């Protein structure tokens, strides 16, 4: 299973939110690049970089940070946040992203998201399925929908999507464990490479996610809070 640390950016700094609420923001580091280098130094190969400024504003904002990390580390970066136009996706890839994750655009502009899938391929376009109480949320998790997460994913799998990052918003930043039962259901009902996100608080959580068949797991707050040490992740990479 791939181990993917997350760096979420607001105002150029590494932050974490609780349950996606911008009002519950904690700043952990001033330099996303230095954090990324620390991950690389411990043998980590992947990074999930989220432009929270972009997610809130509806346009890519922190592409310079993306470019810096991609040019100064060997990390394979998946980038998300604020990708609403084809120009935004081009900027992300030109800045060095290996993959991009589309969440809100997949909810609000299916035709455009499928056009990206056709142009760049399923190995570079990842579906972001962010949900709370099973319902898909968008716009930096500020807008709820009536779309069930499993049905949402299944519909896109039928269109050619093969990679999905599924975040249970209620779990995100809470350090109370991931949504194991939800992920089991998704894996039972779809054939996808599932990346679990939200709630990881220990190495045991990672091993549990691996045991049920998750292709990867994203870790954020657990690293910043010292619940998981980088040397422990080195042993898993």
For 25, how many CA atoms within 13 A lie in the half-sphere containing its CB? 13
Query: Which sequence positions are flagged as catalytic?
Result: 8, 130
Give the Cα separation of 235 and 237 in Å (integer).
6
Question: pLDDT, tens digit, for every residue of 199-220?
Answer: 999 999 999 999 999 999 999 9
Residue 201, token pair as written in the block: 């608080």
Number of domains in the chain: 1
Residue 66, token pair as written in the block: 């993306």
Residue 235, token pair as written in the block: 């042993």
- Report the CATH number at residue 222: 3.20.20.70
Between 19 and 126, the higher pLDDT residue: 126
Question: pLDDT, tens digit, for every residue of 57-99?
Answer: 889 999 999 999 999 999 999 999 999 999 999 999 999 999 9
Contact 28, 224 (CB under 8 A): yes
Give the Cα separation of 40 and 44 in Å (integer).
5
Q: Quick check: 173 pLDDT over 90?
A: no
Q: Would you state the pLDDT for residue 55?
A: 87
Give the Cα separation of 208 and 202 in Å (integer).
10
Task: Give the residue numbers spanning the domain of 183.
Answer: 2-236
User: What's the average model confidence in pLDDT over 217-230?
Assistant: 95
Q: Would you state the pLDDT for residue 143?
A: 76
């Amino acid at each position: 299973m791939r181990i993917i640390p997350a760096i979420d950016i607001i105002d150029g700094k590494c932050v974490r939110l609780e349950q996606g609420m911008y009002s519950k923001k904690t700043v952990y580091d001033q330099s996303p690049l230095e954090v990324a280098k620390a991950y690389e130094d411990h043998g980590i190969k992947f990074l999930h970089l989220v432009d929270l400024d972009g997610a809130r504003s509806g346009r890519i904002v922190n592409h310079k940070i993306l470019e810096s990390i991609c040019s100064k580390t060997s990390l394979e970066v998946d980038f998300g946040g604020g990708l609403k136009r084809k120009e935004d996706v081009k900027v992300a890839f030109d800045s060095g992203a290996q993959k991009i994750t589309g969440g809100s655009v997949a909810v609000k502009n299916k035709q455009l998201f499928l056009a990206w899938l056709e142009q760049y391929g399923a190995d570079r376009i990842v579906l972001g399925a962010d949900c709370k109480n099973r319902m898909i949320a968008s716009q930096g998790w500020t807008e709820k929908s009536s779309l069930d997460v499993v049905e949402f994913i299944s519909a896109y799998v039928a269109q050619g999507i093969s990679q999905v990052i599924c975040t249970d918003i209620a779990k995100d930043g809470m350090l109370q464990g991931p949504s194991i039962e939800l992920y089991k259901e998704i894996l039972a009902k779809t054939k996808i490479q599932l990346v679990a996100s939200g709630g990881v608080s220990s190495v045991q959580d990672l091993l549990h996610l691996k045991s049920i068949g998750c292709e990867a797991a994203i870790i954020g707050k657990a690293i910043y809070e010292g619940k998981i040490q980088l040397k422990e992740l080195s042993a898993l990479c």
